[in-house]
Amino acid sequence: MVYAKQIESAGVVGEIDVPSEDYLDKELFYWDRRGNPVKKENLTLESMLGIHRIDRRRHSAEGVEAKHLAKRAVEKLSTRPDALFVAHDEWPVPIPAVAGIAQYVMGYENAAFCDIITNADLPGSVIAQALVDSGKYKSVVYASSCEVSEMRTKSEFSNDQFTEAALLFEQGKKPRHVNQENPESVDFVIVDHRQFFRSRSDFAKSELDWAGVQTMDVIAGCPGYVVAVDIADALIKTRMFDTITCVGAEALEKMADPRHLDHTLYGSAAGATTYQASPEPGVLCSHLKGFGNLWDYLKWGDGIPLDDGTPAGPYLVMKGHQLYRFVKRELPNTLNELVEKSKAHVPDLTQDDIMLLLHQMNGKLIEHSLGSFLGIGVKVKDLLHGIIPEDLMEFIDNQVPLSVQVYGNSSSATIPVTEDHARREIIRSRFSGKSFEDKLRIGSGTIAIKESAGAGFIVGGYSERL
């Protein structure tokens, strides 16, 4: 048995420290239920901490993009890999993913999905085949974005059908007809945009003078890093590559409307992790679930109109309330699924034995979701006032490193950065300041479960023995 085993990690954050006080003098807005911009009144530090627990966030300097952050993280590593995968969602790549739209249009139920940017030496069809040959997935649909009508399935759909559906999505409508023919046969959907978008992984490769290293960008929202590791695991299992470096890199505050309240959530970071083929257990299992029908929960769209009424953007536009409720329900389900799958490798595994490395989307949402995972009653009103049950605080303090309070939400970068910085004691437990170094040390044998949720909509994660 061949495993993808983690051998090193590195994490960087934006150069500029932005305390929450910096937002108090700014004119910020939010969208009401009718889609009208409303000015946020009486914004206080207490209310900001109650909403998302972010005291500070790290922004990147002017001109710094995800590709620069990715390069900074990777150059801290000592191993030159066979392949480099960079997960990001930087404009103009599609959010939500075209693969998610295809998943919904074709009725592929909860098939996982992602968009990718490959090169001629590592085409998307090879990625799709490796996902099947590894035994991770039964049937993978692959298409290039220039010929998306030629989905590699028994039942092809016409270009006109896809075009009509895509136009309806662009207009904010759902397609009228969804092909339900044998949807359970497909469990992963990939769309390759090689001909259309610049590759951030190619930039890092060029800057590092890594001739011969294969590259791929993964476009899957906040779970992009998790999806990249899932693909890397398949390629290592099938022995296509021995060593793969996976990166999550985002300058998320630059993708958000600076006049919208959501801007207070975001930061810049990049985390890189190298996995190598090993007979010793590493990545144990994964669980990815796609919800293409929720495509409009997080997408590119217009920002708050300028004073003269001119549209601003494009920016990331989020349906915050719907997204919160969805993640609060699905995150505990995914964690439970990963614990159960991990028991095939560690039969006596319990909740007390694991370390959780979660997407740092929002501190309050993490607390609320973990309460459900643990079966602890948690009230939103209490969380808004910083009242957290003692047993939940103890679990977080011992088993859940958090970085959102000091770095903000940096999308696909949050998991690898949190893991690396907790491992190096740059961040410590939130409530007591204890170290996670022993538990997260590579070679410790700890079972770490990593989970994320984000645009598309995708929920998923994987477990690994460190």
Judged against a pLDDT cut of 50, whether residue 158 lies above it is answered with no
pTM score, whole prediction = 0.93
192 located within any domain: no
User: Within 13 Å of residue 440, how many CA atoms lie on the same side as its CB?
Assistant: 30
Token code pair at residue 170? 């662009």
**Chain-centre distance for alpha carbon 128:** 20
Query: What is the Cα gyration radius of the chain?
Result: 21
120 located within any domain: no
Q: Which of 73-82, 151-160, 190-199, 397-406 has the lowest mean pLDDT?
A: 151-160
Of 101 and 426, the structure prediction assigns the larger pLDDT to 426
As for how many domains the chain has, the answer is 1
Determine the average pLDDT of the residues in 43-71: 95
Judged against a pLDDT cut of 70, whether residue 182 lies above it is answered with no
CA dist., res. 155 & res. 113, Å (int): 18
CA dist., res. 165 & res. 218, Å (int): 24
Residue with tokens 């993280």: 73
Q: Where in 352-426 does DSSP place strands (E)?
A: 354-358
CA dist., res. 276 & res. 274, Å (int): 7
Judged against a pLDDT cut of 90, whether residue 176 lies above it is answered with no
Domain carrying residue 331: 1-93+197-466
CA dist., res. 400 & res. 388, Å (int): 15
Q: What is the phi/psi pair of residue 354, to 5°?
A: -105, 155
Distances 299 to 72, 317, 318, 453 between C-alpha atoms, Å? 27, 5, 7, 14
Cβ neighbours, 10 Å, residue 89: 31
Judged against a pLDDT cut of 90, whether residue 94 lies above it is answered with no
Q: Where in 231-314 does DSSP place strands (E)?
A: 243-251, 268-278, 283-290, 298-301
Judged against a pLDDT cut of 60, whether residue 155 lies above it is answered with no
Residues 203-242 as b/e (b if ≥16 CB within 10 A, e otherwise) read bbbeeeebeebbbbbbbbbbbbbbbbbbbbbbbbbbebbb
pLDDT band at 221 (very low <50, low <70, confident <90, very high): very high
So what's the pLDDT on residue 151? Answer: 38
Cβ-proximal residues to 121 (8 Å cutoff; 6+ apart), any chain: 214
pLDDT band at 163 (very low <50, low <70, confident <90, very high): low
317 located within any domain: yes
- CA nearest neighbour of 331 among 358, 350, 291: 358
Pairing label, strands 283-290, 458-465:
antiparallel
Compute the mean pLDDT over every residue in the chain, rounded to the nearest whole number: 90
Judged against a pLDDT cut of 70, whether residue 95 lies above it is answered with yes
Judged against a pLDDT cut of 70, whether residue 297 lies above it is answered with yes
Q: Secondary structure of 66-133 in the HEC alphabet? A: HHHHHHHHHCCCCCCCCEEEEECCCCCCCCCCHHHHHHHHHCCCCCEEEEEECECCECHHHHHHHHHH
225 located within any domain: yes
Query: What are the CB-based long-range contacts (under 8 Å, 24+) for 258-261?
Result: 259/26, 259/27, 259/28, 259/29, 259/303, 259/304, 259/312, 260/28, 260/29, 260/30, 260/303, 260/304, 260/315, 261/28, 261/29, 261/30, 261/40, 261/43
147 located within any domain: no
13 three-class SS: strand
454 located within any domain: yes
> Using an 8 Å Cβ cutoff, are 96 and 174 in contact?
no
Of 121 and 345, the structure prediction assigns the larger pLDDT to 345
Judged against a pLDDT cut of 60, whether residue 201 lies above it is answered with yes
Judged against a pLDDT cut of 60, whether residue 175 lies above it is answered with no
Angle, alpha carbons 238-243-246 (nearest 5°): 100
214 located within any domain: yes
Determine the average pLDDT of the residues in 27-45: 89
In total, the chain counts a number of residues equal to 466
CA dist., res. 434 & res. 426, Å (int): 11
Residue with tokens 């890397």: 232
Cβ-proximal residues to 137 (8 Å cutoff; 6+ apart), any chain: 112, 131, 187, 188
Residue with tokens 């039964």: 138
The CATH number assigned to the domain holding 380 equals: 3.40.47.10
401 located within any domain: yes
- CA nearest neighbour of 287 among 422, 464, 129: 464
Of 173 and 352, the structure prediction assigns the larger pLDDT to 352
So what's the pLDDT on residue 307? Answer: 83
